[in-house]
């Protein structure tokens, strides 16, 4: 059934206008559907986490799954992130395929030792005899007024660790296909869900009403099983003026800025940070000669630094301007100055101008 | 459902035989509990009782107002109300030596701040994220601090504060300042691994710390029985030889009495105490809580028959206070809280430059 799999970086579903018969769902529903389909296909898949069972998850991502698959396959855990992740590693080594949820990415740190020292390295140190085929789902990112402990974007902590894969969807369509691929993957995958866009894409203008997913063509999600392979980026829109690399929420903010400014940008949604679709990036930057990286995470040693280095290494002779980064500041995520922290339309706009100016 | 606090003292038999080796002093889980059961309620003077009542009522009214401001969009993000649990913070903190002792808690921290007599204006202004807030709007509802009162926060990461409390206690011990640390956490937080690392160290090194589990029966949507193998949290120090106390957290006088016993024990250099306070949260976990996990009747039952403020009020009446005086107090408190809300609404937001201050010593 994987015939709908996309094997190359393709233009997104938004390129085709949706027809009335197409089914539109939000990102939570897409994630829920992916979990449901995989639970149905593979009895070794187990969901565990804080409030995921009885309550269906604080964001409702696991709603209805305990009723359907029972308490032995979908269950609540104590507030013990280290224990949750460690159990998933052990279950994975024994042949199961756990999909633990860490309620917010900010709570993943108690489990870091198990992720870094155990999950990421089991395959290597056992010379491939044992693996940890687990997918840690976790909502991440800010823009919800969550303050320091409910807003962080810690993806580069994980991309820095050899032995982990890091996946970040930006649409309902991709969330479903990527989650299915992540669950089927035989390596530990950190699946960060941009919670700001669970219910609708975000333009970066926090004072404007939220646009629901239903109005966006990428909410058209096929029923049933399909996978989007890890390591394949998506060209959100083609363009000639510059390449913008983004993922998660920032894909939508960038898109809105380019639309508003009338900039002919080529926007690439990375979808997975590790493995990275470097070919798609290289092809685009060689075409446009200019590159901007956008992420919400703090700047220093952020994933943007890696992207900037890669682009410089691979496309140096094609570049007409230095690679720019529009990122969060090097501060904890603030409580009351959230929008001063967030790399919104103004900062992205300025960065675009700078890349285009040279 | 709230279990009723405490089995009777007679349920204990002889203390368990101590382990072999030279560390052969007897350990009895219930040694302090037996003292509490023998004399379960603090003999408060009329003035003291009145003061407890006022403080609890201030917390209640403050929290009700915070809930309203949240509804109006003036408080954003997360906001965990302490309504129902007032007797715990008041009973315990009233027994502290404010010059010596330190306190640390989780994110449900407004009540603990108010229990110190900290100005409600600056607490409310922190909730609304204003410059005048006690943490200059940088912490918000979950992260408030006061060096003046040795209040070490307000922590959003469940369980982390327990281990930090161990560090505070170690510092008290090192300095020899005679202070103790009061470290609060929830029934849900009690399942974090780091709590048990701290129990072991605290007992091993006889640290001056009182661990307080505010067992409000739920961690978000999870009832204790669905997440905890041992739901008698006061017993959870047994393996570390930490005496436990099982306290009715809905009765301020019992909490205060338990505090006296625990603090005496800790101050005498005996090491930690683990106190479980049976309590109940009336409101949702944070502000958006569909409340599927419990019945309306269950909440109603607690409100009507177990309310800590009503209990104190009834005692005041019994002692001859008149209704009108109590009404006047409520009125005063309401206007005090309304004033805090005005202040929190009208004071300015922090300067954008605040975003970059306090990250490190220097600014980069
Ligand atoms: C490490 C971590 N995991 C999960 C959370 C999310 N969370 C916040 S409060 C809470 C429930 C805690 O319940 P309890 O300890 O009983 O305290 P209560 O809210 O009842 O006061 C959870 C799961 C968190 N803040 N930190
Ligand atoms: Mg609780």
Q: Quote the ipTM score.
A: 0.90
Pocket of ligand 1, beta carbon within 6 A: A 50, 79, 81, 103, 107, 110; B 108, 156-158, 186-189, 216, 218-220, 281, 285
Closest residue to B292, CB basis, from A55, A106, A341 = A55
Min Cα separation B183/chain A (Å) = 18
* Cβ of residue B129 closer than 8 Å to a chain A Cβ: yes
Residue given tokens 């301007």 in the structure block? A321
Distance CA A59, CA A51 (A): 10
DSSP 8-state assignment for residue A344? -
First to last CA, chain A: 48
Residue nearest to atom 8 of ligand 1 (CA): B158
Q: Alpha-carbon torsion B303, B306, B309, B314, what sign? A: positive
Which ligand 1 atom is nearest residue B220's CA? 11
Distance CA B275, CA B278 (A): 10
Distance B225 CA to ligand 1 centre (A): 16
- Kindly list the residues from chain B whose CB atom is less than 8 angstroms away from the CB atom of residue A144: 77
Nearest residue in A to B156, CA atom: A149
Distance CA A334, CA A275 (A): 31
A111-149 core/surface letters (b: 16 or more CB in 10 A; e: else):
bbebbbebbbbbbeeeeeeebbbbbbbbbbbbbbbbbbb
Distance A183 CA to ligand 1 centre (A): 27
Residues 196 through 225 of chain B touching chain A, CB cutoff 8 Å: 219-222
Question: Across the beta sheet with A291-298, what order do the strands follow?
Answer: A234-237, A265-269, A242-246, A291-298, A324-328
- Kindly list the residues from chain B whose CB atom is less than 8 angstroms away from the CB atom of residue A58: 220
Compute φ and ψ for B32, nearest 5 degrees.
Answer: -80, -35
Distance CA A36, CA B106 (A): 35
Strands of B7-138 (E only): list them: 102-104
pLDDT tens string A45-71: 999 999 999 889 999 999 999 999 999
Distance CA A108, CA A241 (A): 39
CA trace torsion A265, A270, A271, A273 (10° rounding):
-160
Min Cα separation B124/chain A (Å) = 13
**Which residue ranges form the domains of chain A, and what is each CATH number?**
24-204+209-217 (3.40.50.970), 231-357 (3.40.50.920)
Question: Could you tell me which residues come within 8 angstroms of residue A60 by beta carbon, excluding any fewer than 6 positions away?
Answer: A28, A32
Q: For each of chain A's 358 residues, which pLDDT tens digit applies? A: 333 444 344 444 444 444 556 899 999 999 999 999 999 999 999 999 999 998 899 999 999 999 999 999 999 999 999 999 999 999 999 999 999 999 999 999 999 999 999 999 999 999 999 999 999 999 999 999 888 999 999 999 999 999 999 999 999 999 999 999 999 999 999 999 999 999 999 999 999 988 999 999 999 999 999 999 999 999 999 999 999 999 999 999 999 999 999 999 999 999 999 999 999 999 999 999 999 999 999 999 999 999 999 999 999 999 999 999 999 999 999 988 999 999 999 999 999 999 999 7
- Kindly list the residues from chain A whose CB atom is less than 8 angstroms away from the CB atom of residue B77: 144-147, 150, 335
**Which residue ranges form the domains of chain B, and what is each CATH number?**
28-341 (3.40.50.970)
Residues 25 through 44 of chain B touching chain A, CB cutoff 8 Å: none
- Kindly list the residues from chain B whose CB atom is less than 8 angstroms away from the CB atom of residue A337: 137, 349-350, 352, 354-355
How many C-beta neighbours within 10 Å does residue B96 have?
Answer: 21
State the pairing for strand pair A272-274/A165-167: antiparallel
CA B136-B142-B146 angle, to 5 degrees, is: 50
Instruction: Give the pLDDT confidence score for residue A19 in this predicted structure.
Output: 55
Q: Which among A52, A53, A57, A79 is the best mutation to test ligand 1's pocket, defined by most ligand atoms within 8 Å of the CB?
A: A79
Min Cα separation A336/chain B (Å) = 5
Closest residue to A79, CB basis, from B142, B159, B292 = B159
Q: Which two tokens stand for residue B315?
A: 């005692």
* Cβ of residue B248 closer than 8 Å to a chain A Cβ: no
- Kindly list the residues from chain A whose CB atom is less than 8 angstroms away from the CB atom of residue B139: 147, 335
Report residue A345 CA to chain centroid gap.
20
Question: Across the beta sheet with B181-186, what order do the strands follow?
Answer: B102-104, B181-186, B209-215, B273-278, B244-248
Query: Which residues of A have a catalytic role annotated?
Result: 150
DSSP B121-176: HHHHHHHTT-TTSTTTTSS-TT---BTTTTB----SSTTHHHHHHHHHHHHHHHHT
* Cβ of residue B139 closer than 8 Å to a chain A Cβ: yes
Q: Which among A107, A109, A140 is the best mutation to test ligand 1's pocket, defined by most ligand atoms within 8 Å of the CB?
A: A107
Q: For each of chain B's 364 residues, which pLDDT tens digit applies? A: 445 555 444 444 444 444 444 455 678 999 999 999 999 999 999 999 999 999 999 999 999 999 999 999 999 889 999 999 999 999 999 999 999 999 999 999 999 999 999 999 999 999 999 999 999 999 999 999 999 999 999 999 999 999 999 999 999 999 999 999 999 999 999 999 999 999 999 999 999 999 999 999 999 999 999 999 999 999 999 999 999 999 999 999 999 999 999 999 999 999 999 999 999 999 999 988 888 899 999 999 999 999 999 999 999 999 999 999 999 999 999 999 999 999 999 999 999 999 999 999 987 6
DSSP B291-305: -TTS-HHHHHHHHHH
Element counts in chain A: helices (H) and strands (E):
12, 12
Distance CA A293, CA A308 (A): 7
Q: Which among B110, B220, B227, B286 is the best mutation to test ligand 1's pocket, defined by most ligand atoms within 8 Å of the CB?
A: B220
Question: Could you tell me which residues come within 8 angstroms of residue B66 by beta carbon, excluding any fewer than 6 positions away?
Answer: B75, B79, B81, B110, B124, B127, B141
Min Cα separation B224/chain A (Å) = 9
Whether residues A107 and B219 touch (CB distance < 8 A) is answered with no
Distance CA B62, CA B81 (A): 9
Nearest residue in B to A108, CA atom: B157
Distance B286 CA to ligand 1 centre (A): 10
Contact B156, B143 (CB under 8 A): yes
* Cβ of residue B306 closer than 8 Å to a chain A Cβ: no
Contact B341, B65 (CB under 8 A): yes
Distance B159 CA to ligand 1 centre (A): 8
Select from B202, B353, B340 the least CA-distant residue to A337: B353
pTM over 0.80: yes
How far from B37 is each of A251, A332, B182, B243, B254, CA to CA, in Å? Answer: 62, 47, 22, 14, 10
């Amino acid at each position: 059934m994987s015939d709908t799999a996309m094997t190359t970086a393709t233009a997104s579903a938004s390129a085709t206008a949706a027809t009335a018969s197409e089914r539109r769902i939000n990102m939570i529903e897409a994630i829920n559907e992916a979990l449901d389909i995989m639970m149905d296909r593979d009895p070794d898949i187990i969901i565990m986490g804080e409030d995921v069972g009885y309550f269906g998850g604080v964001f409702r991502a696991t709603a209805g799954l305990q009723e359907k698959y029972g308490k032995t396959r979908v269950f609540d855990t104590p507030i013990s992130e280290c224990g949750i992740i460690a159990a998933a590693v052990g279950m994975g080594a024994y042949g199961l395929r756990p999909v633990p949820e860490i309620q917010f990415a900010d709570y993943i740190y108690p489990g870091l030792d198990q992720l870094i020292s155990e999950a990421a390295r089991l395959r290597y140190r056992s010379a491939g005899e044992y693996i940890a085929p687990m997918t840690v789902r976790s909502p991440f990112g800010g823009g919800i007024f969550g303050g320091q402990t409910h807003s962080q974007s810690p993806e580069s902590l994980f991309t820095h660790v050899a032995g982990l894969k890091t996946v970040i969807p930006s649409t309902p369509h991709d969330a479903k296909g990527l989650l299915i691929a992540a669950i089927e993957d035989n390596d530990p995958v950190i699946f960060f869900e941009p919670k700001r866009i669970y219910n609708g894409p975000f333009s970066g203008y926090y004072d404007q009403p939220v646009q629901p997913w239903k109005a966006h063509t990428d909410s058209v999600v096929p029923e049933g099983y399909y996978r989007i392979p890890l390591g394949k980026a998506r060209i959100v829109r083609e363009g000639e003026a510059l390449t913008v690399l983004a993922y998660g929420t920032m894909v939508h903010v960038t898109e809105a800025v380019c639309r508003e400014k009338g900039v002919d940008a080529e926007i690439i949604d990375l979808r997975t940070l590790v493995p990275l679709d470097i070919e798609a990036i290289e092809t685009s930057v060689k075409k446009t000669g200019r590159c901007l990286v956008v992420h919400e995470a703090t700047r220093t040693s952020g994933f943007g630094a890696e992207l900037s280095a890669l682009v410089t290494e691979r496309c140096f002779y094609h570049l007409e301007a230095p690679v720019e980064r529009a990122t969060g500041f090097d501060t904890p995520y603030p409580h009351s100055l959230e929008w001063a922290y967030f790399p919104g339309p103004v900062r992205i706009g300025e960065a675009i101008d700078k890349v285009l100016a040279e | 459902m709230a279990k009723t606090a405490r089995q009777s003292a007679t349920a204990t038999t002889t203390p368990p035989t101590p382990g072999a080796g030279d560390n052969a002093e007897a350990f009895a889980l219930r040694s302090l509990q037996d003292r509490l059961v023998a004399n379960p309620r603090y003999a408060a003077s009329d003035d003291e009782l009145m003061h407890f009542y006022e403080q609890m009522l201030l917390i209640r009214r403050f929290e009700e107002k915070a809930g309203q401001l949240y509804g109006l969009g003036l408080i954003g993000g997360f906001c965990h109300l302490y309504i129902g649990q007032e007797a715990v913070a008041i009973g315990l903190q009233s027994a502290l030596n404010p010059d010596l002792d330190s306190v640390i808690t989780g994110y449900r921290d407004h009540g603990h701040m108010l229990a110190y007599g900290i100005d409600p204006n600056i607490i409310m202004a922190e909730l609304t994220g204003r410059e005048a807030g006690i943490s200059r709007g940088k912490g918000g509802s979950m992260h408030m601090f006061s060096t003046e009162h040795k209040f070490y926060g307000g922590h959003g990461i469940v369980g982390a504060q327990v281990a930090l409390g161990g560090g505070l206690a170690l510092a008290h011990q090192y300095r020899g300042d005679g202070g103790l640390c009061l470290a609060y956490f929830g029934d849900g937080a009690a399942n974090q691994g780091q709590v048990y690392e701290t129990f072991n160290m605290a007992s091993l090194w006889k640290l001056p710390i009182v661990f307080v589990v505010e067992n409000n029966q739920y961690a978000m949507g999870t009832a204790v029985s669905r997440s905890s193998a041992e739901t008698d949290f006061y017993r959870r120090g047994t393996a570390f030889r930490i005496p436990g106390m099982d306290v009715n957290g809905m009765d301020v006088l019992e909490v205060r009495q338990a505090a006296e016993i625990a603090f005496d024990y800790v101050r005498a250099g005996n090491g930690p105490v683990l106190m479980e306070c049976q309590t109940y949260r009336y409101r949702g976990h944070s502000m958006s809580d569909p409340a599927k996990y419990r019945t309306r009747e269950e909440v109603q039952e607690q409100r009507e028959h177990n309310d800590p403020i009503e209990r104190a009020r009834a005692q005041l009446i019994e002692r001859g206070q008149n209704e009108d005086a109590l009404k006047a107090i409520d009125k005063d408190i309401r206007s005090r809280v309304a004033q805090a809300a005005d202040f929190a609404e009208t004071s300015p937001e922090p300067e954008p430059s605040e975003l970059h201050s306090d990250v490190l010593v220097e600014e980069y």
